[in-house]
Each structure stands twice: as C-alpha cells, then as structure tokens.
A = this chain, B = another copy of it.
Amino acid sequence: MNDINRTLIAHFPIFEGFSAEELDSILKSVRSVRYASGQMLFEQGGQAHSFFFLLHGHLRVTKMTSDGKQIGVRYINPGEFCGIAPALGADRYPATAAPVDDSILLIWPAASWLPLAERVPKLAARVMQMLGGRLQEAHERVIELATQTADRRIANILLDLIEKSGRTDASGTEIRFPISRQDIAEMTGTTLHTVSRLLSAWEEKGIVKSGRRRIVITDKDALRKMSESRE
C-alpha cells in the first residue's frame, strides 16, 4: 500500500543521523505526488490540510500584498519541508506555493504532524532548526531592503539563488529553474525594468549571461564584489 522507500529521503541533510526506524516512522502516513509547472500546491488562506517535503524540482512561494499584488517570497529546493503551517498550529496557509518545474513531493495529512513529532522528536527539533534558519534569512532580507541599493540587492539574490540552486559547468553557474526578470524584481523590491537594465549592463561586463527565464553567472567574484561595495 505504501511503496515509498526510506532511501528516497535518507540522503537529504535534514535527515542526517536518523535511524532506519525513524525514517520508516516518518514515512508512515505519507504519499507521493508529482506536480507540473502551472499547477498549485496550496493557496494563501486555504485550509492547511497537508504539509509537504520536496523530493525533486522547485517551488515558488508567493504572498499577496494588502493591495492584491502577488509577490515572491522564496524558492523551495529539494530536501526542504514546505507548507508546515500544521506544525505551527496554524489552520490556514500563510502563503501560496506552486511548482516552477516538474516537481515530486511527499504529502502528509495535517493531522499526522502531532503524532509524528511525538514519535520522532528528532524531526521536530530539525524542523525547529530549519525555522530558525528561515527566520534568520528573512531578517537578512529585511535589512538588505532597508539599507542597500537596488543593484546590490539584485546581486545578492542572484548569489543566494546560485548558492542554493546552482548548477556549475565550464561556462559558469546556472540557476536550475526558470526565473524571470519580474520574479527577481518582486523578490528584491524593484521593477522588472531595473532588473532588465542591470542584467544587460552586467552581461556587457561579462558577469552574467541570461536568456528567457534563464540566468547564468559567469563571474561570481565580480558579482560578490558588486554586492559588497559601490560599483
């Protein structure tokens, strides 16, 4: 009935140090589903019926502003939990999540969180660490937005993206999933115009190469310098 093997998840860092029994226990009431780009996992304000773990692909998490615009908050990479509102005692999702890729997820019903956390306290501890990390990141984003200029913020998010979801080859490091100028603009509090202009300028300098929803960083050091000091 449940054909999900623990070897599917054992290698992810968040499960490092977990015993076979713990992993099996975690996979007890799980099922796996494939989502295609264009579908939606869950929507902001919707009943938090499930929580998720991303095995393959990439998710985009967005939030609605008070005036109705949808803006990107973060990307989820393989090996991350997502939609863990149930673990936080919330009965509604605080954001919307949608795949930008062909993605494969594990899905647990919300009700299974509490027993799961009791059965495998190590998991609860890890999720708590993950939350702490995300809180950290969010605070750093706040500080960036509050103190840095648009070009630095954009340089920073590109570095972030290739760090977490980059694939490096001879010509540079590419962001593994499709991402538009608009997407970057939203996450950095700028406009697609500014992003477009900057990427063009950086392309001329040989720092990036970019196409339609595709970005390759060819000179990471130059970009890092750009993110740290006025050009």
Interface residues in chain A, defined as those with a beta carbon under 8 Å from any beta carbon in chain B: 63, 65-67, 69, 71, 73, 85, 87-90, 94-95, 117-118, 121, 124-125, 127-129, 131-136, 138-139, 141-143, 145-147, 186-189, 228
Expressed in whole angstroms, the Cα–Cα distance for A228 and B65 within the complex equals 11
Copies of this polypeptide in the complex: 2
Chain A facing B: main interface SS = helix
Residues of B contacting A129 in the complex (Cβ-Cβ under 8 angstroms):
88-90
Which residue from B71, B88, B95, B138 sits with its C-beta under 8 Å from A128? B88
Expressed in whole angstroms, the Cα–Cα distance for A210 and B95 within the complex equals 37
> B132 contacts A88, CB within 8 Å?
yes
> A139 contacts B189, CB within 8 Å?
no
Which residue from B71, B127, B133, B134 sits with its C-beta under 8 Å from A146? B71
Given contacts A73-B139, A139-B95, A90 and B132 within 8 Å (CB-CB): yes
Given contacts A189-B147, A228-B66, A142 and B73 within 8 Å (CB-CB): yes
Residues of B contacting A94 in the complex (Cβ-Cβ under 8 angstroms):
136, 139
9 closest Cβ contacts across the A-B interface?
A: A88-B132, A146-B189, A138-B138, A145-B145, A89-B129, A131-B131, A141-B142, A135-B135, A65-B147
Expressed in whole angstroms, the Cα–Cα distance for A150 and B191 within the complex equals 17
The smallest C-beta distance from A120 to any residue of chain B, in angstroms, reads 12
The smallest C-beta distance from A137 to any residue of chain B, in angstroms, reads 9
Could you show 5 A-B contacts with beta carbons less than 8 Å apart? A88-B128, A88-B132, A90-B129, A127-B128, A138-B139
Which residue from B65, B71, B135, B187 sits with its C-beta under 8 Å from A138? B135
> B63 contacts A189, CB within 8 Å?
no
> A131 contacts B88, CB within 8 Å?
yes
